Amino acid sequence: MVPLRSISIFTFGFLLLFLCSSSAEQQPFAVDGKVLELDESNFEAAISTFDYMFVDFYAPWCGHCKRLSPELDKASVNLSVLKHPVVIAKVDADKYSRLASKYEIDGFPTLKIFMHGIPTDYYGPRKADLLVRFLKKFVAPDVSVLNSDSAISEFIEEAGKNFPIFIGFGLNESVISHLAVKYKKSAWFSVAKDFSDKTMELYNFDKVPALVALHLSYNEQSIFYGPFEEKFLEDYIKQSLLPLVLPINQDTLKSLKDDKRKIVLTIVEDEDDERSKGLVKLLKAAASANRDLVFAFVGFKQWQDFAESFEVAKKIELPKMIVWDGDVEYFSVIGSDSVEDEDQGPQITQFLKGYREGSVIQKHIISDDYKAFRNSMFLIGALILVLVVILVSMMMQSVKEEPSRVQVDHPRSSTSLSEAREALRSGDKEDKID
Ligand SMILES: *[C@@H]1O[C@H](CO)[C@@H](O)[C@H](O)[C@H]1NC(C)=O
Ligand SMILES: *[C@@H]1O[C@H](CO)[C@@H](O)[C@H](O)[C@H]1NC(C)=O
């Protein structure tokens, strides 16, 4: 066998030419950091040539596509030089309709990443720098093995701040490998085999194995010392995907969707003022002692419509704490409605104690605003399914009973909630084909 590295670029190109010539008479693909323009004659050859190919199915008349194009040009340069290079290509899916229908393109642009020829839809960000980060994540090993202090810092540097980072110090990769696969889209995973005492100090652990979770964008880290059994390990990883106390906004809201825990929600007046920051610090302490709950906060000033879903109006005293199920139900704790300025720590403790003892009033979110918000939390498909079920059962009933009326809710729309919906659906195609 000839070692791959010793194959010169020339031979490699020749090899490509040879490989491709069997399917059609065509030139090998130039791998020079430019976006490839593909068509029906060479598309299949391209996806079998490249391990990782990111494809923009566009239409020349679509505005979003035009805006995306320079971003792809920029990203392409950096992605082509990675250890696992990602080739960016585009296809005029309006013109090449056979390809478009084969890959079920129903809007422009549609983005897909082909890994070893297998397509996966891409709903991530479209700005060049973020695109580079996300695609880098796609092609990175499930668990990176780090063999020195500098490998650890390079790994963290490369991972960036978009996702939590897990480092298993002194942990065998086989222990976390399949959880790393399961949560690959949400976090970076690594194990460190060799590291100095300085690294132990830096990450604040005193024995191994230790699994450290870092949330760089929230300046947070936590440590898990075991037991390294499936259930406990997965609980820890799942809980650590969110920061200890999540600031709720249109972007972060969707990250709550995959977490089944109840949410301790604190509504403050203005999340930027010093008093709120002090309170969040106390909430962090409470959060690390109550990992079976998610802690979150939102500013009335920052997102009024959302706050008002929980019976909060200007005249109500803030901060207010409730426990929310992430859907239409929430609980007030009797006697712990609002948090007063003095001694907030004990008040939080009291609130949690009251909640756990069941000293609560159960409430429902009923406002129109919330309905609009909630609609956006569910997949459109699920909604359609529910509607179909309702319609079918109504049709069946109407056979037996008098004709019944179908009432359709038109949620009142408001700017920030429609923005929220937009954020939650950021995966949707913007320009639909009729
Ligand atoms: C590409 O890499 C260069 C050098 O590391 C960096 O300055 C630039 O921001 C990167 N561009 C993108 C789109 O990530
Ligand atoms: C790590 O796990 C693999 C697979 O289970 C095993 O073969 C290997 O011996 C383990 N290494 C250590 C250092 O325990």
Identify the structural domains of the chain with CATH numbers, from first to last: 4-137 (3.40.30.10), 141-240 (3.40.30.10), 243-434 (3.40.30.10)
Number of Cβ atoms within 10 Å of the Cβ of 12:
13
Annotation marks residue 65 as catalytic: yes
Nearest ligand to the CA of 80 is 1
**Rounded to whole angstroms, how far apart are CA atoms 348 and 337?**
11
Non-local (6+) Cβ contacts of 354 within 8 A are 333, 334, 335, 336, 360
Of 65, 88, 131, 283, the catalytic one is 65
DSSP state of 6: G
Q: What element of type H or E holds 365?
A: none
**pLDDT tens, position by position, for the chain (434 residues)?**
444 444 444 444 444 444 444 444 455 787 789 999 999 999 999 999 999 999 999 999 999 999 999 999 999 999 998 878 999 999 999 999 999 999 999 999 999 999 999 999 998 889 998 899 888 888 888 999 999 999 999 899 888 888 899 999 999 999 999 999 999 888 999 999 999 999 999 999 999 999 999 999 898 989 999 999 999 999 999 999 999 999 999 888 888 888 889 999 999 999 999 999 999 999 999 998 999 999 999 999 999 989 988 888 766 789 999 999 998 999 999 988 889 888 899 999 999 999 999 999 999 986 655 555 666 665 555 666 666 666 767 666 654 443 333 333 333 333 344 444 344 344 334 444 44
Burial class of residue 342, CB neighbours in 10 A (0-12, 13-18, 19+): exposed
Closest atom of ligand 1 to CA, residue 132: 14
| Mutation pick for ligand 1 pocket among 54, 72, 129, 161 (CB with most ligand atoms within 8 Å) | 129
Residue of 230, 187, 232, 224 whose CA lies nearest to 208: 224
Rounded to the nearest whole angstrom, what is the distance from the C-alpha of residue 129 to the centroid of ligand 1?
7
Closest atom of ligand 2 to CA, residue 172: 1
Ligand 2 site, CB within 6 A: 172, 174
| Mutation pick for ligand 2 pocket among 169, 174, 193, 230 (CB with most ligand atoms within 8 Å) | 174
Backbone angles phi, psi at 427, to 5 degrees: -75, -15
Of 35, 62, 321, 352, the catalytic one is 62
Beta 320-324 vs 329-333: how paired, if at all?
A: antiparallel
Closest atom of ligand 2 to CA, residue 174: 2
Q: Whose CA is nearest to atom 12 of ligand 2?
A: 172
Q: Whose CA is nearest to atom 10 of ligand 2?
A: 172
Q: Whose CA is nearest to atom 14 of ligand 1?
A: 129
pLDDT digits (tens, 9 = 90+) for 210-231: 999 999 989 898 999 999 999 9
Q: Whose CA is nearest to atom 14 of ligand 2?
A: 172
Residue of 51, 56, 52 whose CA lies nearest to 96: 56
**Rounded to whole angstroms, how far apart are CA atoms 207 and 107?**
53
Residue of 403, 330, 336 whose CA lies nearest to 363: 330
Q: Sheet containing 87-92: give its strands across.
A: 36-38, 87-92, 52-58, 110-115, 118-121
Rounded to the nearest whole angstrom, what is the distance from the C-alpha of residue 151 to the centroid of ligand 2?
21
pLDDT digits (tens, 9 = 90+) for 333-384: 998 888 988 889 999 999 999 999 999 999 998 665 555 566 666 555 566 6
**Rounded to whole angstroms, how far apart are CA atoms 249 and 247?**
7
Query: What is the CB-side half-sphere exposure of residue 223 using CA atoms within 13 A?
Result: 13
- Cis check for the bond before 70: say yes or no (omega within 30 of 0): no
Apex CA 40: angle with CA 38 and CA 41, to 5°?
Answer: 90
Annotation marks residue 20 as catalytic: no
DSSP state of 39: -
Q: What element of type H or E holds 4?
A: none
